[in-house]
């Protein structure tokens, strides 16, 4: 890979040929930290890399422990979330059915010449379950 460094002003430029190993390392760092490779090269040329404070190995070990704990908790609560999702879908279906029955009831009341009822509380409940 050829790297060309151009000044902001003037005509001079520097051309450098980078080895495949260096390019692979730059791309790996870019993926690891979510930074474009151009930005990594720029940071390397300017010396903007931060030096880690503290013991890096200890911090990595602690992160590993926290990830392991997170996965254990995830395994524990995943079935509960699945059941909650199933119940919310059941509630949604019941709300749809109740909405249809209320409409049918209103239609029958009109057919029989009775005054239709306005169930505001039920309508609010139905709209709550249909949104969720």
Question: For the segment 63-105, what is each residue's pLDDT rounded down to a tens digit?
Answer: 999 999 999 999 999 999 999 999 999 999 999 999 999 999 9
In a domain, 51, yes or no: no
Q: Specify whether 61 is located in the same domain as 116.
A: yes
In a domain, 111, yes or no: yes
Q: Specify whether 79 is located in the same domain as 109.
A: yes
Q: Specify whether 66 is located in the same domain as 37.
A: no
Question: For the segment 32-54, what is each residue's pLDDT rounded down to a tens digit?
Answer: 888 888 888 777 777 766 676 67
Q: Are 37 and 26 in contact (CB under 8 A)?
A: yes
Q: Are 38 and 31 in contact (CB under 8 A)?
A: no
Q: Specify whether 123 is located in the same domain as 60.
A: yes
Q: Specify whether 126 is located in the same domain as 105.
A: yes
Q: How many CB atoms lie within 10 A of CB 98?
A: 16
Domain that holds residue 25: 2-46
Q: Specify whether 36 is located in the same domain as 60.
A: no
In a domain, 11, yes or no: yes
Distance CA 90, CA 129 (A): 10
Note the pTM of the prediction, 2 decimals.
0.47
Question: For the segment 102-124, what is each residue's pLDDT rounded down to a tens digit?
Answer: 999 999 999 999 988 888 999 99
In a domain, 8, yes or no: yes
Q: Specify whether 62 is located in the same domain as 31.
A: no
Distance CA 2, CA 6 (A): 13
């Amino acid at each position: 890979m050829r790297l060309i460094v151009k000044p902001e002003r003037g005509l001079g430029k520097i051309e450098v040929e980078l080895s495949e190993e260096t390019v692979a390392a730059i791309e790996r760092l870019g993926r690891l930290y979510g930074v474009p490779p151009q930005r990594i090269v720029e940071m390397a040329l300017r010396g903007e890399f931060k030096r880690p404070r503290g013991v890096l190995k200890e911090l990595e070990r602690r992160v590993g422990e926290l990830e392991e704990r997170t996965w254990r908790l995830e395994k524990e609560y995943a079935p509960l979330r699945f059941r909650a999702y199933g119940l919310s879908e059941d509630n949604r279906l019941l709300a749809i059915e109740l909405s249809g029955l209320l409409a049918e009831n209103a239609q029958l009341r009109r057919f029989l010449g009775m005054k239709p009822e306005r169930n505001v509380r039920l309508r609010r409940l139905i709209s709550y379950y249909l949104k969720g």
